[in-house]
Amino acid sequence: MALDASSAAAELAAAVEQDGLLLARLVDPALARWNHLPSRDGWLARIEDTATPAGLRLLAIDALGTVREPRAATTLAKIVTDSDFPPEMRLAAARALGNVSESGLVEMAAGLAATSAVPSLATGPAALGRLLAVALLERQSGDATTTLLRSLATDPEPSVATLALTRLDALDPVAALTIAHDSLAAPDAGQRHLAARLTARPGDADCIGRLGPLLGDRNPSLRRFVAGTLADLGADAALRQAVIDQGVGALAGDPWRALEQAALLLGHLDHEPAAERLMALLDHDRHEVAVSAAWALRKLEIAETLLPLLAYATKLREQLQAQAPPDVLSKFGRQAQQLHQLFGILRFRAAGPLLREYVPKAQIDIRARSAAFWALGLIHEDEPDCDLAPVFAERLADVTSLPPESGVVRWMAAVGLGRFKAESQLETLRTFANRDTMFAESGVASYWAIWQITGEAMPPEAVDITRIGGWFLEPP
């Protein structure tokens, strides 16, 4: 089955007859995927025989739905409409029947939906009839189908509404979009996520205005989706201002979730007027906001922010050396990482003394340290006699002390030596290029530095071979 060896279908089907449910759980889905015609009669017999164990019956129902066996329709319909069957079997039968039949199920679906449309029992188990109805409509079409789907797409049970809206979108996208707009405020995150995806599809100013409030949605994946979607839409010059307006509005508010996403969005769009507000948010209580603000300021690359940011980064250095909870130190380290990179990108020499404080090995945030090395490499680019060259080489070579130097710091030290064009440190670079090889970042960086200094070509990229054992079928 793992090899998709459909030629073995007959042997596998025979094994199921002998070994029962345990093997059928593996084999039946494969036989259905291969559309194994001889198995259809056996599956039909299973679903019609009331003595068949429930597990085998469910597998047969799923298989018949997969192969769209028309002879199963009558029995499947009986299971769907008979309340004596367990809910999971009725749902499986409804899905299978919906896959088998392209027409003739709307009336049955409407009847099932009506039986569970009791206002006091709108959600939970009482919604079974509406779930069955949606499943039956999987391949139905026509006005009656879309009318029923429009009703089910606004159902109080999220699982019903989400499935119905998905199917309605395939049949009548305009109607689905209208319902999606109203579903953006639904209590269920999955329902809101689907509504947001449908709302985003037109890619116009109207959808931007509707998506903007979801930057602060309580569901992390949804608000990230919205921010990413707005960022993509903002790449269009005609829509850029509409996106910026949503980001600026969110950045001016107080909800921390919206602040985080708005900072990321406006930084991505290079909206420089946001810098003042972003500076203020560096001290926000929520780490997500404070770090996102630092990231956005790095992306903006505004020279006028460098002096106040240097003052802030100096304060971060002091805070990183103080006793504080790990999560607080992580926040400071991540902020420093972003600001140090900014100092390097803009070649801000006034930050040099602060960045040099991170060069000696110390128990301090590795992200802040490695970014300091990276920035110093840019600030002193093309300075072969830079006094930092031997110090960087020492950090690269520190592999035997206890504890040894951080691998990320060694990596950035090698990069810095390449940027300095530090010919005096070629021996160290060659040593650790050979030692660390192209399989380690520090080895790649050492080879890169040698190339920067001498022009010698880097060796071919290493092929990383991973051997995984324990397969069901292996060579001797």
pLDDT digits (tens, 9 = 90+) for 183-210: 999 999 999 999 999 999 999 999 999 9
Q: Name the DSSP letter for residue 52.
A: S
**Is residue 215 a contact partner of residue 223, using CB atoms and an 8 Å limit?**
yes
The whole-angstrom separation of Cα 425 and Cα 422 is: 6
* pLDDT above 80: residue 472: no
Instruction: Please state the rounded mean pLDDT for residues 120-135.
Output: 79
pLDDT, one tens digit per residue, over 449-467 is: 999 999 999 988 878 788 8
Residues 364-415 pLDDT 10s: 999 999 999 999 999 999 999 999 999 999 999 999 999 999 999 999 999 9
What band does 123 get if pLDDT is binned at 50, 70 and 90?
low
pLDDT of residue 112: 95
* Cα dihedral value 289, 292, 296, 297, nearest 10: 70
Side-chain half-sphere of 336: how many Cα atoms within 13 Å?
30
Residue 79 reports pLDDT greater than 80: yes
Residue 386 in 3-state DSSP? Answer: coil
pLDDT of the residue at 464: 77
Kindly indicate the confidence band of residue 289, based on its pLDDT and cuts at 50, 70 and 90.
Answer: very high
| Per-residue pLDDT tens digits for 87-110 | 999 999 999 999 999 999 999 999
Q: Could you tell me the pTM of the whole model?
A: 0.88
d(CA 177, CA 67): 32
pLDDT of residue 120: 44
Alpha-carbon distance of 208 to 143, in angstroms, equals: 31
